[in-house]
Amino acid sequence: MRIFLFMVIGLCLFASDATLEIVKSADNRPGIALQDASTFGNDLVKQKFFKLIVGDLKVSAHFKVDSTYRYSEYESIVDPMLKSGDYLIRYRFREGSSQALFMDMRAYALPAADIIYERSYRVTNRARYPFLVHQAIIDFNDFLKMPSVAWMKRYVIFSEYTKPKHSDIVVADYTLTYRKTLVSGGLNIFPKWADRQQRGIYYTKIGRLRPILYYYNIYTGKQHKVASSDGMLVCSDVSRDGKRLLLTMAPNGQPDVYQYDTTSGLKQRLTFYPGIDVSANYIDGEKRIVFVSDRLGYPNIFASKIGSRAVEQIVFHGKNNNACSAHGKYIVYSSRESDNAFSSNTFNLYLISTQTDYIRRLTASGVNQFPKFSDDGESVIYIKHYASQSALGIIRLDYNEGFLFPLKGRRIQSIDW
């Protein structure tokens, strides 16, 4: 059980519209207003579309967004009362044949009200409408030559408890508005993206005899067994070329970090401590690893060069640093800030560099856990508990801004971005 205390905590999650938690605002951002010209959907559906667009614009951190809902005909002239901002986006969702859905978007430069941008999008499955919105905001952001927000269209993968000893693997958009179950039946845990293109995942299935690591192709539905081990078996990281995996295994009852070659099937043991070493990530050009260990008597963050038994302590504060994620030379980790025996403790997220003494606190209150870097390393996703509520959080590192998606009703075992 001590092993899984490091790695598993049940969470209650359900996506809602994004709320903004600003750490530091940028007042020189262009202002943007919205007008809905949709011919599809009732008022509730139209509000869902509107909130998703507002959320994407806010999470980009590039705009000051007017959150007032307005309706307009798509071809009508621009209301003079709206000419005080920088841009107006007029959008229209319209119905296609079968389950197809279209989204038209037109942008006006204010105050002149000149049309500067126009594009249309289509999905064949209406359930995927969040990706219409994400792509539209990505493209408009690129048109304005803002820093890329292409990460918005990437999938999130998570394991969701459905009943005792049963959990499903679910794929979703980053707001969890779109969700599709990929793997069900039995206890399926610790999903991890297998490649940067997000074509497949690794996940662990807990069988009767031993855990088994599977590879699953999210497009074809085909899967195959990768490895099995006594004790425990979890894939915590994948090399950028997808040819090497970092696994936590306990073939002799003691969890250690192994490197697995997907071509040859050979395993290389990387840690040798007679305690708990788990949750490894590649760092520093994949020449070293960072991992969680109890070798100080409590969970903390350590690093080691691949092929060497020498271990370096990375974090020097906190008495329970039980989760981390890495991207290049940066590490984000969760650290316990209080020691309350009869009430909840505070866990905050910190960002550090492996090459300098740089350290930066990313959160200020609540219980913030299970951080994961985005593929470009510019954002962090995490789980936040506060005031008897739970939320999915996103931190935009370059902008010192955080965004919270209130959550309820779902128990998430683990998540990857």
Lowest mean pLDDT among 2-6, 139-143, 184-188, 264-268: 2-6
Element (H, E) at 359: strand 359-361
- The set of residues, in sequence order, having a beta carbon less than 8 Å from that of 373 and lying 6+ positions away, is 325, 326, 327, 330, 332, 379, 380, 417
Q: Is the pLDDT of residue 159 over 80?
A: yes
Per-residue model confidence (pLDDT) at position 83: 81
Contact (Cβ atoms closer than 8 angstroms) between residue 254 and residue 211: no
- What is the end-to-end Cα distance of the chain in Å, rounded? 26
Q: Is the pLDDT of residue 341 over 70?
A: no
CA distances from 359 to 68, 232, 292, 317, 336 (A): 38, 33, 18, 11, 16
How many CB atoms lie under 10 A from the CB of residue 340? 9
pLDDT level of residue 16 (50, 70, 90 thresholds): very low
Per-residue model confidence (pLDDT) at position 27: 65
Per-residue model confidence (pLDDT) at position 82: 83
Give residue-wise pLDDT tens across range 179-226.
999 999 999 999 999 999 999 999 999 977 889 999 999 999 999 999
The pTM of the full predicted model, rounded to 2 decimals, is 0.88
Q: Which residue has the higher pLDDT, 97 or 261?
A: 261
Contact (Cβ atoms closer than 8 angstroms) between residue 140 and residue 391: no
Can you count the helices (H) and strands (E) in the chain?
3, 31
Mean pLDDT of 17-42: 74
Q: What is the pLDDT of the chain when averaged over all its residues?
A: 89
- Domains along the sequence of the chain with CATH: 2-17+151-416 (2.120.10.30), 31-143 (3.40.50.10070)
Per-residue model confidence (pLDDT) at position 185: 92
Per-residue model confidence (pLDDT) at position 342: 56
Per-residue model confidence (pLDDT) at position 242: 94
pLDDT level of residue 292 (50, 70, 90 thresholds): very high
Q: Which residue has the higher pLDDT, 16 or 308?
A: 308
Give residue-wise pLDDT tens across range 343-385.
678 899 999 998 888 889 999 888 898 899 998 999 999 988 8
pLDDT level of residue 340 (50, 70, 90 thresholds): low
> DSSP code of 40?
S
Per-residue model confidence (pLDDT) at position 6: 43
Lowest mean pLDDT among 30-39, 86-95, 116-125, 340-349: 340-349
Mean pLDDT of 297-311: 94
Q: Is the pLDDT of residue 8 over 50?
A: no
Give residue-wise pLDDT tens across range 245-280.
999 999 888 899 999 999 999 999 999 999 999 999
Q: Which residue has the higher pLDDT, 143 or 161?
A: 143
CA angle 303/318/323 to nearest 5° reads 50
CA 282, CA 280: separation in Å to the nearest integer?
7
Per-residue model confidence (pLDDT) at position 346: 87
Assigned token pair, 140: 């408009």
Assigned token pair, 239: 């090399």
Q: Which residue has the higher pLDDT, 290 or 5?
A: 290
CA 18, CA 107: separation in Å to the nearest integer?
23
Give residue-wise pLDDT tens across range 100-120.
999 999 999 999 999 999 999
Percent of the chain with pLDDT strictly greater than 90 = 68
Contact (Cβ atoms closer than 8 angstroms) between residue 396 and residue 380: no
